[in-house]
Structure 1
Amino acid sequence: MQLKNILLPGKVSSKRIFYLDFLKAFAIFLVVVGHVSAETLIHSSVNINWLFADFYSTFAKISIPIFIMISGTLLLNRDYNFKGFIEKRFSRILIPFLFWGSIYVIFSFVFGFTEGKVPDYNSVTSIVSFIINMFLGRPGYLNHFWFVWMILSVYLITPIINKWIKNSSFDEVKYFLIIWLVTCVFTTFKLPYVNIDLRYFAGPLGYFILGYYLHNTKTKLSQNNYLWTAVLIISTILKVFMIYNNSLIAGSFQGIDYYDLTTVFQAISLFLIFKNINFNSNTRKNITTYFSEGKSANIILSISIFSFGIYLSHLLLFKLLWVMNVDFASMNALVSIPILSLILFLVAWVAMLVLSKIPFFKKFTGAI
């Protein structure tokens, strides 16, 4: 049997954009890194080991903006009707979400997955409340499920934003993004809104439109990978030390918002770096061709297709290790975080491959 038949869930569209699949595969690995590094950040004191975890977490935080940007690239300026779009997108999200959510709930009752959050088993109300909070992704219950509700809210408004994009000039899109960046300035420096309420421009919608804009823009500035590599390095270093300093002062982990300017510039630079490697003729024959053809391409494409399933499922094994009282905070973060992340990532990916070969379970893999 060919490797392609093992890795991919049936027929795959030939219209896929490879650099987006590559970017999505990289981003889902960063999600795992972020969740693993969080254990050290939250449960240990601020020291050199903590600083290594800070670096991994800081870089990994790009993953969520990247996912939103990829969605904007693929869903905007397209032809579809509202009803068909909502039905297709919501079923792809909700079916695997409800399945994996149920698995987490069952495991939580059996193993106590949550950090101190347990229901009163003598109260039906308490049990129902516990289950609802798990699915809602409340802090202390099942935090990573917040992404599901965020992306569903973006999908709800996508048909409306799509009509605006189709009937707007590129300058009008840039106008929106400029105002969105202003809201990010407010977020970064904690500036007051004064008398201008810019909340309508804030949030994930900015990343959604930003992805579409960056994919469709082609200038000397956007194609300068030396520049964007420098921006990625500088913004990451700044963010690492901002978090380190704030946490040192507070005595506990102090994270930075997804709409902080450092995160925005990290996301912009990483997106453009991947895009430019894909389209730059000077590198295509060596770097990109290696990954875009043959076995490597099939692996990357497979990871990209199963990325949502990997996102939903990867914490199962991690939480089992947590229940077994594995002390992640005492490990050497520099080495343990990438190794453990890779193990969790591969286990989740292989699980999706196995489920995709079983007709009944295929729909729970989140394959897109």
Structure 2
Amino acid sequence: MNKIEWVENLRVIATITVIMLHVAGPGVVSLGSVSMLDWNIANFFDGLARFCVPVFIMITGSFILNKDYGLEDFFKNKLSKIIIPFLIFSFIYTINGYGIKNLIKNYDLEEFSQFALQNLIYGSSYHLWYIYMLIGLYIITPIIRVYVKNASKSNLEYFLVAWLVFVTIDGYTLNEYLPNFKISIFSEYTGYFILGYYLSKYPLNSPKMGWLLFITGSLLTIGGTYYFSVKQNQFHEMFYNYNTLNVILQSIGIYTILFNSTIKNKALSKLRDIISKNSFNIYLVHILILTKIAPLNLTWNYINPFVGIVTTTLVCLFISTMVSMALKQIPVINRYL
């Protein structure tokens, strides 16, 4: 069994579910203006997919932290592969936000420059927060790598337990009842980074345990969101927070389920490889695609929420993959995508 294969399987699942999450999102925030049945379906799909971003981080950690890189090599060959595609797509989103017609007919260099700068600083699309966070993780990777390389299994477990405790306190807003220790390294995404590395070295090797963790985390996510949202008569997003115990359980669960997984069907395996190879570009472009297909009524409630979420997710995945493959054929751009 090739270790790369299960990572690719995991990456494809994360890629599909991050699209599904953004397709279902508008339905979840529509509590009160849609039927409870429709809202519950949206909550089911969105809640089921919360592991997507954490799993992306875990995959990165399992790769990056398992290898030694010189600082120059790391920043030149690794960080640049994140930053350059990010800049390319940030420019695309900036042009889209500014408006092509406005750019051509009412072109104002100063106005456009200010608009572009603001987009670069604050993000030209809401989903690009992940790239800013990822760049931050990459910047501190050489430091984290020294730690994980020299840490014992028990020391890594100590870190992960401490992280789990602090994200639970912070994620469920329990910190107002406790002293503020200001240990931010334990309340953000560094834990997922190291968790991916840890599970690649010390896997649970128990699909049954994986399913137990995933189902438990999913039920807590979907059920907790339902309970508090209905109670407050408005969408309550606490259980959707990536840094919560329920999402951590989901993420460990799906990681464990797919660890050592393989696909024997050649056609399915080839499709997996295509999506995996284009996954980063798919993530970057999929929000733009969703905005372009929305006027065609391809949204979360197309026909009904179940059909709409599944159909829109698959259509967006297909178009995003085609766009990525097309961009890779452009001579200058293909060097960086």
Q: What is the number of residues matched between the two proteins? A: 326
The equivalent of 1:201 in structure 2 is 186
1:187 is matched with which residue?
Answer: 170
Partner residue in 1 for 2:12: 25
Contact 1:37 1:337 in 2 (8 A): yes
Partner of 1:257: 241
In structure 1, list runs of 5 or more residues that go unmatched: 1-14, 113-120, 279-287
State the distance in 2 between where 1:183 and 1:126 align.
Answer: 44
Q: Which residue of 1 aligns with 2:225?
A: 243
CA contact (8 A) 1:95 1:363 kept: no
Write the letter of the residue equivalent to 1:248: V
Which runs of structure 2 are paired with 1:331-350 in the superposition (5 Å)? 331=302, 332-350=304-322
Q: Partner of 1:5 in structure 2? A: none
Aligned mates of 1:358, 1:125 — CA distance in 2: 29
Is the partner of 1:61 in helix, strand or coil? coil
1:217 corresponds to 2:202: yes
Partner residue, 1:274:
258
Residues in 1 aligned to 2:319 and 2:86: alpha-carbon distance in whole angstroms? 18
Shift of 1:21: 0.8
Unaligned runs of 5+ in 2: none
1:94-133 aligned within 5 A: 94-110=83-99, 128-133=113-118
Q: Does 1:68 align with 2:50?
A: no
Structure 1 stretch displaced more, 343-352 or 312-321: 312-321
Distance change in 2, residues 1:290/1:174 (3 Å) = same
1:80 counterpart residue number? 69
User: CA RMSD, aligned part only?
Assistant: 2.5
Answer whether contact 2:93 2:288 (CA < 8 A) is retained.
Answer: yes
Q: Secondary structure at the match of 2:29?
A: helix
Q: Distance in 1 between matches of 2:51 and 2:335?
A: 28
Q: Say if 1:16 and 1:354 are closer, same or farther in 2 by CA, change over 3 A.
A: farther
The counterpart of 1:40, out of the listed 27, 45, 60, is: 27
**Residue 330 (structure 2) aligns with:** 358
Distance verdict in 2 for CA 1:125–1:248, change over 3 Å: farther
Moved more, 65-74 or 241-250: 241-250
Structure 1 CA distance, aligned partners of 2:28 and 2:118?
Answer: 24
User: Is the 1:185–1:260 contact (alpha carbons within 8 Å) kept by the matching residues of 2?
Assistant: yes
Kindly indicate whether the alpha-carbon contact (under 8 Å) linking 1:40 and 1:328 is maintained by their aligned counterparts in 2: no
3-state DSSP of counterpart to 2:99: helix
Task: Note closer, same or farther for the CA distance 1:348–1:260 as it changes in structure 2 (3 Å cut).
Answer: same
What letter corresponds to residue 64 of structure 1 in structure 2?
V
Secondary structure of 1:254's aligned partner: coil
The C-alpha deviation readout for 1:144-189, integer Å capped at 9, x for no partner, is: 0101100000000101111111112111111111100111220343
2:215 to 222, 233, 246: 233
Per the alignment, residue 166 of structure 1 pairs with 149
Q: Is 1:290 equivalent to 2:264 in the alignment? A: yes
Question: For structure 1, which segment, 185-194 or 95-104, has the greater mean C-alpha deviation from structure 2 after superposition?
Answer: 185-194
Contact 1:137 1:144 in 2 (8 A): no
Deviation, 1:356, is 2.2
Residues 77 and 163 in structure 1, CA contact (< 8 A), matched pair in contact too: no
Letter of the structure 1 residue corresponding to residue 319 of structure 2: V
Provide the TM-score with structure 2 as the length reference: 0.88
Question: Counterparts of 2:232 and 2:162 in 1: how far apart (Å)?
Answer: 32
The 4+ residue runs of structure 1 with deviation greater than 4 A are: 121-129
Q: Which residue of 1 aligns with 2:276?
A: 304
User: What SS is found at the alignment partner of 1:259?
Assistant: coil
Structure 1 residue 200, shift from structure 2 partner: 2.4
Contact 1:135 1:145 in 2 (8 A): no
Q: CA deviation at 1:320?
A: 1.9
CA distance in 2, matches of 1:257, 1:263: 7
CA contact (8 A) 1:76 1:162 kept: yes
